[in-house]
Amino acid sequence: MKRLSIYLVLIVFAGLLAGCQLFGSGDSNSDNPSSSYFPLATGSTWTYAVYDSVYSAYHGSNRLDSTSHIRVKVTVLKNVQVDSNHVTSLWQFQFPGQIDTVYVSSASDSVRLKIPTISYGPTTFILPLSIGQKWSGEGISGTYSVVSVDTLSFNGMSFSRVYYIVQTPSGSNGHNEFINIKYWIQPGVGIVKAHYYDSSTFTPTTNTSWKLLSYNIK
């Protein structure tokens, strides 16, 4: 089902926390290889310039600049050791006037999360990444392909080993062929860019982009 704004419902399984060990501030679970792609240390932050074609139409006063971008801050609040191979991290997405809390599940070979305004079904990355790599996600999330490794420079930052990943959703809602989702991931930093585009004729075009402004890895 097509998402019309950032006010989506994030389903959280609080039971994952029961009886689990909490890492203290600054713990990054260095034994978990996925942390080399997505930093897990408590207190790590990323700030993005986010454009959402639906959100900006109703929240113009919160715009970051004349291009209708807003500022979104992402913070790792805490980590939970579920078992010897799995860590669940609590991430906060702070939009203007809106806070979403998301659980990010990571294992030695994967990271699973749901990004407000971007994710179509649970987003899963199989690690380590390599060009030509493909995998299937859960349900309507479809398939993922690692297309290339790029060098990117923007907002005063340079990234020399960025994995460009294309997600092709699947399902039976009749318009998935119009949906295009892209991610750019820099190991040790995480997602530096993301883009969601839906040109379905059933509803107004949705065009959403995330671009890193700054980050602080603990």
Specify the higher pLDDT residue, 39 or 173: 39
Residue 121: predicted pLDDT: 74
pLDDT band at 82 (very low <50, low <70, confident <90, very high): confident
Q: What is the pTM of this model?
A: 0.78
On the 0-12 / 13-18 / 19+ scale of CB atoms within 10 A, 52 is buried
Specify the higher pLDDT residue, 158 or 17: 158
Distance CA 92, CA 115 (A): 10
Distance CA 75, CA 46 (A): 7
What is the amino acid identity at position 101? T
On the 0-12 / 13-18 / 19+ scale of CB atoms within 10 A, 177 is exposed
Average pLDDT over residues 42-56: 85
Six-digit token string for 18: 């029961």
Specify the higher pLDDT residue, 9 or 114: 114
Residue 14: predicted pLDDT: 30
pLDDT in tens, 110-165: 999 888 878 777 899 999 999 999 999 887 788 899 999 999 999 999 999 999 99
Answer yes or no: is pLDDT of 18 > 60.
no
Question: Measured between alpha carbons, how far apart are the two ends of the chain, in Å?
Answer: 37
Residue 66: predicted pLDDT: 46
